[in-house]
Amino acid sequence: MAYFDSASSAPLHPVARQALLASLDEGWADPARLYREGRRARLLLDAAREAAAEAVGCRADEVVFTSSGTRAVHSGIAGVLAGRRRVGRHLIVSAVEHSSVLHAAEVHEADGGTVTQVAVGRTASVAASSYAEALRADTALACLQSANHEVGTEQPVAEVAEVCRAAGVPLLVDAAQSLGWGRVNGDWSVLTASAHKWGGPSGVGLLAVRKGVRFAAQGPADERESGRAAGFENIPAIVAAAASLRAVRAEADAEAVRLRELTERIRARVPSLVPDVEVVGDPERRLPGVVTFSCLYVDGETLLHELDGEGFSVSSGSSCTSSTLTPSHVLRAMGVLSEGNVRVSLPMGAVEEDVERFLSVLPGAVATVREKLGAPAPATVVREDVLVVDALGKRCPIPVIELAKVIGGVSVGGTVRVLSDDEAARLDIPAWCEMRDQEYVGEEPAERGSAYVVRRLS
């Protein structure tokens, strides 16, 4: 089985396993106690903090360990917003942030705060100028991920940090996806990360708050971790997290070159092997091991099952999954095709043979899914040069499949109106038009759902 989903969770690094087992015997006591066992646990915790701070590029007393990366994000955002409440209650986030950031923004807004969501381009990258335009006199905090978790695009953190610093606004960086590859550049104020993303154990998050940043920890007071992370520290897991971070950093430069070559191979060959595919994300500024593409006329969940049956573990941001009937917020913000989405994220140590085998089985897997979904015949009514496709009640990718089947039924210059109540159609039909050189006229209200109008150009 080839595991190609390290962006969700990386396999436990051998160094993490060794450190975890070793520290189970040494780090079980309360590090706040002065007796021998407590002092031994404190030494392990302090050493892990020093190692983590060195990897982040900050002081050891600026780092605390939390129970998860999500908890680090929530604590970081809430703490800065509370500490800077006198300045204002305005929060800035990008449209493609991890859900932990967006959920924290929703809570802030429900509590009376204001949120500005900065748009991204088709590669998922933000512009520093967009953050500059979003800044206000009452802005308390801005948030930006270092790299996108779904498409791998690296964000211009240094440029955005400079803009925020000039305005006196702290920048919180979610570095979960990138910290294993290197330090985050720029004059950021707060940084969060998650150990299981770089091969450490799950259940360990990292929160770094620079000196000088006004921060008020929320919730009941707790003397642990400078009051910023309540509860007894999981010292064996923290030690393993710090040890594995140091280990992956030592391998990162050489491994980045190797994995980048493998993902570039996937980016280049998938469109030639599989028709009607859109490779998404920035082609240059991206994480070494991540490549994402979307396939027209494909149910994402079914495709993932097909690939699983062939021995490949991959993930999807497709709207066609059992957990959601709406497109990934990242793909939606990018304005790219969402159906049949596949994210390949190679772990450190991934081998060329597995990548080649993936490329060999992918065309057959896509063809199988397309064959399964190609049966329904569209209900059509011809009205001069207008063709109406009734796809109400049908989930992606059926509306697009039916559009593709009938576009040749109108003369050049004629239009097809696709009736659909699936939110994914709002994203996928314009994307199909761009891929097939047809004109997307726009969306019109309908008695049920919406009518998506396409004009035939060729």
Return the active site residues.
Answer: 320
Name the amino acid, one letter, at 193: A
Output the CA torsion 223→41→72→13 (10° steps). Answer: 180
CA distances (Å), origin 201, targets 64, 209, 235, 237, 406: 16, 22, 12, 6, 52
| Whole-angstrom distance, CA of residue 288 vs CA of residue 280 | 15
Closest CA to 452 of 42, 436, 433, 435: 433
Instruction: Check whether the bond before 430 is cis (ω within 30° of 0).
Output: no
Sign of CA dihedral 437, 442, 446, 450: positive
Residue 22 in tokens: 């070793």
> Which pairs count as long-range contacts for 161-168, CB under 8 Å and 24+ apart, including other chains?
161/186, 161/187, 161/188, 161/189, 162/128, 162/186, 162/187, 163/128, 163/129, 163/131, 163/132, 163/135, 164/131, 164/135, 164/189, 167/132, 167/135, 167/139
Output the CA torsion 380→384→386→392 (10° steps). Answer: -30
3-state secondary structure of 48: helix
| Whole-angstrom distance, CA of residue 407 vs CA of residue 64 | 58
Name the amino acid, one letter, at 227: G
Q: 335: how many CB neighbours lie within 10 A of its CB?
A: 15
Strand (E) positions, 71-209? 90-94, 114-118, 139-145, 171-174, 190-194, 205-209
Q: Which residue has the tokens 């680090």?
A: 72
Query: What is the phi/psi pair of residue 187, to 5°?
Result: -90, 60
CB 153 within 8 A of CB 286: yes
HEC profile of 313-343: ECECCCCCECCECCCCHHHHHHCCCCCCEEE
CB 265 within 8 A of CB 351: no
